[in-house]
Amino acid sequence: MDMLKKTFDRAKQTVEEHFGDAAYTEYDAEFQAQLNRADDIRTFVEKSLSAVECYMQPDPAIRLLPGLTQEGQNKPEVIAAQMGQFAQSVGGWVGKVNVNANTLIGSLKQAEDTYVQLGKYERQYLAAATDSYVSPVKRFLNEALKALDKERQELKARRLDMDSLKNKLKNKQPEQYPQLVAEKDKAEQVFNEQKAKVSQMISAVESALPEHLKQLRQLTDTQISFMKKSQKALEDLSKKLA
């Protein structure tokens, strides 16, 4: 019954705040600035994660529905398969065309082997990038920021409870309603305690930002390693094909 009454009072308070002249407790400037920073952090982290995931896997079907799609070969592996098939076809041309089939087959096989290796490097890069950046950032969003959201919702509920009681005391002589005053004072205490809890959680989120930068650096190092290995493989292939 008490919960049902609270739910009704919160709904009534919300409506009166929007359409009436009900009391509304504004957050102080410092706390509001904290809330704004928390929102900025969420936006930055979500957009950064989305950009990295789109870069790592441009195909939205695979990216958004990994459990319902089959990635199959990556792009370098597709090139390798085509080179291999071409080499097989060339094998049947011996004596029929004006080319050195053995030389052409050898070149195609070298290209096939190189692109197989590039496909392997790409898979290693994606796995390492997921471990070093994507997974930790998702944990941060799903744990720290989701927990903060829950406590912010609780704070809003406590604020509605407090302001609802303030409205009930509006235009009344407080000494004539001691129980209502006591409820209002208790609601203010609970509100302030919840506000302090949210403030502490935002501070913890802000303190985690250096860890996010560390993960970004690890992502960058992983990508540099991938690009160096890929460049070396392609340079070696270029020399063989010269």
Q: Is residue 235 part of a domain?
A: yes
Q: Is residue 115 part of a domain?
A: no
- From 62-71, 193-202, 227-236, the region with the lowest mean pLDDT: 62-71
Q: Is residue 117 part of a domain?
A: no
Phi-psi region of 171 (alpha: psi -120 to 50; beta: other; left: phi over 0): left
Please say if the pLDDT value at position 1 is more than 60. no
Q: Is residue 86 part of a domain?
A: no
**How many percent of the chain have pLDDT more than 70?**
92
Q: Is residue 60 part of a domain?
A: yes
Distance CA 173, CA 175 (A): 6
Please say if the pLDDT value at position 181 is more than 80. yes
Q: What is the pLDDT of residues 93-120, one digit of tens each?
A: 665 655 566 788 889 999 999 999 999 9
Q: What is the pLDDT of residues 20-75, one digit of tens each?
A: 777 789 999 999 999 999 999 999 999 999 999 999 888 777 776 666 555 678 88
Number of folded domains that form the chain: 1
- 137: domain CATH number is 1.20.1270.60
Instruction: Write down how long the chain is.
Output: 242
Q: Is residue 194 part of a domain?
A: yes
Q: Is residue 28 part of a domain?
A: yes
Q: Is residue 58 part of a domain?
A: yes
What residue numbers bound the domain in which 191 lies? 7-72+123-241
Question: Apex CA 178: angle with CA 172 and CA 184, to 5°?
Answer: 80
